[in-house]
Structure 1
Amino acid sequence: MKTLYKSFLISAALAVSFSATALEPMKERAQVKHINSTLLMPDGSDMNVDMSLDCGSKFNNTGIIITTEQGAKFLANAYSKLYSFAAGEKVRQAWQMKANPDDPRKPTMLLINEFGALEWPDNSSKLIKSKNFSNYSARSINIGPKVLQLCGTRSHHPTELQ
């Protein structure tokens, strides 16, 4: 009886924790919950992969999936304009380099999630006042949201480019 009670409590706790991270239905929009893809490998073979965008996986909150060189170039240019040249360079490196030197290939996809607080762009002009305090200034470089490299590694877990 005691074991049955413990099993019930553990099951209930797991159900609550999984439901806390699960996707919730939206009122007027469907959400991508699962993606099944067939990858064409460099040797000509196919590999089937599954991505769950639900229940707290590393793909949770994925907003952008880049799968082509043109997409990576577009994202690098956007990051350069939105955040900094260094942010755009980080995207270029993520696309053009293996996550780890001993990985069999470069990433198949880049994933972007954890965007922070973004707002829709608007046309309103903003007055920016400039002040010259001295010839020396401290500057913080914004590197933008994380870029995750995927499907080039042996482990097939997303890797953040450092």
Structure 2
Amino acid sequence: MSHLDEKLQIAEDINLTFDLTAKPNTSDLKAHEDRAVIANLRADLVLPNNKILTVDIDFNATSGYHNTTMMIMDDFGVEMLAAGFETKYGKEYADKIRQTWANKELPSDPRKPTYLLVQKPINENKMPSVFAVCGRKDHINTSPLAIV
């Protein structure tokens, strides 16, 4: 932690560290007038073999995560997302979300998805895209497929 880092505990089990070093915005993203916009998240994932996999999630306009509105990381979140989809779009789509979360994409994959990303639709007449991420063996040159 440098002298420009600031820590904040927002709940007993949620700690944030802010790096207050000034950096230029090299992304294509623009902040809202009254709200910041997430450009990048770095996550250390604890794998089933107890090793750590570090993932940088880039929300820049040219990345596959552009327009991401939600990141779902556990069974409760998946059920909340599925309930919302069921109410708004129907049981078929909600069940597809539940099924994707509960299963490996391919039987040879080392694990089930680690998280789901929900992308807001570009057109209000379309459905959001939902991506199951980080359950595959090969992370190189593989884009997650939209499950809905």
Please state how far the C-alpha of 1:147 moved relative to its aligned partner: 1.4
Displaced runs of 4+ in structure 1, greater than 6 A?
A: none
The correspondence for 2:76, drawn from 48, 70, 74, is 70
Q: How far does the alpha carbon of each residue in 1:13-66 deviate from its partner, in whole angstroms, 9 at most, with x for none?
A: xxxxxx8x8212221110000000010101111111101100411111110100
How far 1:81 moved relative to its partner?
0.8
How do residues 62-101 of structure 1 correspond to structure 2 at under 5 angstroms?
Answer: 62-101=68-107
- RMSD between aligned residues: 2.1
| 3-state SS of paired residue (2:94) | helix
The DSSP-based 3-state class of the residue aligned with 2:113 is coil
Work out which of the residue numbers 95, 113, 119 in structure 2 matches 1:113. 119
Verify: 1:50 aligned to 2:56, yes or no: yes
**CA deviation after TM superposition for structure 1 residue 93, in Å:** 1.3
Shift in Å at residue 87 of structure 1?
A: 1.1
Specify the SS of the correspondent of 2:68: coil
Cα distance in 2, alignment partners of residues 159 and 106 from structure 1: 14
Verify: 1:159 aligned to 2:142, yes or no: no
User: Which protein has the larger Cα radius of gyration, Structure 1 or Structure 2?
Assistant: 1
**Count of paired positions:** 119
TM-score w.r.t. the length of structure 2 is 0.72
Q: Percent identity?
A: 29
Is 1:147 matched with 2:133?
no
Return the alpha-carbon distance in structure 2 between the equivalents of residues 56 and 102 of structure 1: 30
Question: Gaps spanning 5+ residues in structure 2: where?
Answer: 1-25
Structure 2 counterpart of 1:139: none
CA 150–84 in structure 1, closer or farther in 2 if over 3 Å, else same: same
Q: Which has the higher contact order (CA 8 A, sep 6+)?
A: 1
**Bigger fraction of residues in strand:** 2
Residues 155, 57 of structure 1: CA spacing in aligned structure 2 closer, same or farther, 3 A cutoff?
Answer: farther
**Equivalent residue, structure 2, for 1:25:** 31
1-structure distance, mates of 2:31, 2:115: 27
